[in-house]
Structure formats: C-alpha cells, structure tokens
Amino acid sequence: MADEHDVTAANASLYEAFETADVDRMAALWDDADPEAVVCVHPGWPMLRGRDTVLRSWAAVMAGTDYIQFFLTDVRVSVLGDIAVVTCQENVLTEVTETSHGNAAVVATNVFVRRAGRWRAQVHHGSPVLGRLVDDESPDG
Amino acid sequence: MADEHDVTAANASLYEAFETADVDRMAALWDDADPEAVVCVHPGWPMLRGRDTVLRSWAAVMAGTDYIQFFLTDVRVSVLGDIAVVTCQENVLTEVTETSHGNAAVVATNVFVRRAGRWRAQVHHGSPVLGRLVDDESPDG
C-alpha cells in the first residue's frame, strides 16, 4: 500500500505542477533515465515523444493557460514491480473569460516508472470525453 | 527482443480482433486474472472499467461497425518485467457509406500484463486527434 500511496502522490503532483505553471517542478516529475520513452498526449493532440518535446509542450500549454484547476476522481493505481499505471478522470475547471469559467471532462492514463526509489512519469495520455456520457449497456445507441 | 516481438503481436491482435469483429478472440486477449483492473477508453468515450463492461462495449462497437481497417504506425513497445506499454498511432479506415470511406487518426496507449507466459491486455486508451496537427514549437498558437 506504500507504493500505491507514493504513486498517487506522484500523480497528483503532475496536476499541481500544471495548476501552478511550475515548469521546473513539471520537469522534475518526468523520467530522465530513458528520455526517448517519454510520451505525452494532451487532450485532442497527436502523440508527442521524447522528454524534451514533451517538456516544451508543457511549457507552452502552461504559458497559454491563465487559470486551471483539476479535481481528480475515480483514481485507480496498479503497481507491478517498478512500473505503475494510474487511470483517472480529470474534472477540469478553466477560465473562459475573466468573469466566467468552463469545465471539461478528460480521462487519463498515466504510467510511472520507479527510478532510485522515486516514481517518475513516463506516459501521460489525456483524452476528451465528447458528447453526453454513454450508457455502457447500450454504447451503440 | 523476444518480449518486444510478443507484445507487438499481442497489440496487433487487438486490432485484428476488431477488424474481424471476432468477439471470442477479443475476449481471449484481455486479462482475466485481475478483471477489475481492466480499463478501456474508446476514442471520445468516458473510461470503462472492469472486464465484463469492457467486453460488452467491444461487442457493441463491433456490432455497430460495418467495416474498419487499422494501419498502425509509430508503434513503440516498452517492456519492464511482466508489464508492457505500447504507444502507437492508429490510422483508421472506415466505411462511411456503401461507396465512400473515411479515415481518422487515433493515438493509443495500450498496457499488457504477462500471465503464464502470455501477454494480456489490461488497458486500452484510444483518443481522437482533433483538428490539424499542432506544431510542437508553438502548440498554443
């Protein structure tokens, strides 16, 4: 359970770094032992590969975001050896104009690898939930 | 490299099962040792959890698809112990009408776990690439 706790904290840190637009903290959270294996998909974006490309994208996304806050729900952590998979729903609150806010639902799969006792992000895959929620009993309806 | 080969084959099988609408083959590909950890995100959908829910969704999606073909590109496999992460682009060709076809770009993160020597799917997360490709030097433009 200690592993699950640490992974949950690492996962939360990703979103806190984004909320505070903390480029250095964001960089420290991503794995640097195997930089080519780093992968990031921002919602609706193509897949970005490589630590440098991914960190540049975060810097740009954070620079372009005035206000954002995440409420993570349905967080599940699966640890197997030195790799952990987190799946969760990101309930996102953003500033649309100076006086109004919007919200969006994003679902995410995040993969962490343990390096010298620290969990570092290797994959972040966020995707938009489009349209109304689908009843899983009749998803083709 | 043998592991990477086997994982690549397991990943391809997921798409072949969908192309051929083979419900039994699809079911056999998904992990049944830890059914509650099974997760699937179809492009634009919310997150579905649990093996039964995920397999029902595949049955419905396949029943609602007349024709689909995948051309996987940019496939990267990362194996660490008994877990493997595959990231790839799905170039999807579907039938829009009887005489025309459409295509779509989807990016996917797929997680496999090794059970008794076989790689079984635990997570499939597909997401739509919306709009034009973003130049990663100016993604907020």
**Residue-wise pLDDT tens digits, A53-66:** 999 999 999 999 99
Return the residue of A nearest to B82 by Cα: A80
Q: Lowest mean pLDDT: which of A20-24, B48-52, B92-96?
A: B92-96
Dist CA B31 CA B50 (whole Å): 10
> Is the pLDDT score of A140 beyond 90?
no
Averaged confidence pLDDT in chain B: 91
CB of A66 less than 8 A from some CB of B: no
Which candidate, B45, B53, B58, places its Cα nearest to that of B14? B58
Q: How many CB pairs under 8 A join A and B?
A: 141
Interface of B with A in 71-130 (CB under 8 A): 74, 76, 78, 80-83, 85, 87, 89, 105, 107, 109, 111, 113, 122-123, 125-130
Chain B residues close to A56, C-beta within 8 Å: 136-137
Domains of chain A: 2-128 (3.10.450.50)
Please tell me the predicted confidence (pLDDT) of residue A132.
54
Tell me, what's the ipTM?
Answer: 0.88
Percentage of chain B lying above the pLDDT 70 cut: 92
Give residue B103's pLDDT. Answer: 83
Beta carbons of B94 and B101 less than 8 angstroms apart: yes
Let me know: does A106 contact A126? Beta carbons within 8 Å.
Answer: yes
Q: What is the mean pLDDT of residues B99-125?
A: 93
CA pair distance A12, B70, nearest whole angstrom? 35
pLDDT per residue over A80-124, tens digit each? 999 999 999 999 998 777 777 778 899 999 999 999 999 999 999
Q: Is the CB of A111 less than 8 angstroms away from the CB of B109? A: yes
What is the residue type of B31? D
What are the backbone angles phi and psi of residue B100, rounded to the nearest 5°? -135, 155
Kindly tell me if the per-residue pLDDT of A22 is higher than 70: yes
Residue in the structure block whose two tokens are 């007349």: B66
Are the CB atoms for B105 and B90 separated by under 8 Å?
A: yes
Instruction: Among A96-105, B38-47, B109-118, name the one with the lowest average pLDDT.
Output: A96-105
pLDDT band at B106 (very low <50, low <70, confident <90, very high): very high
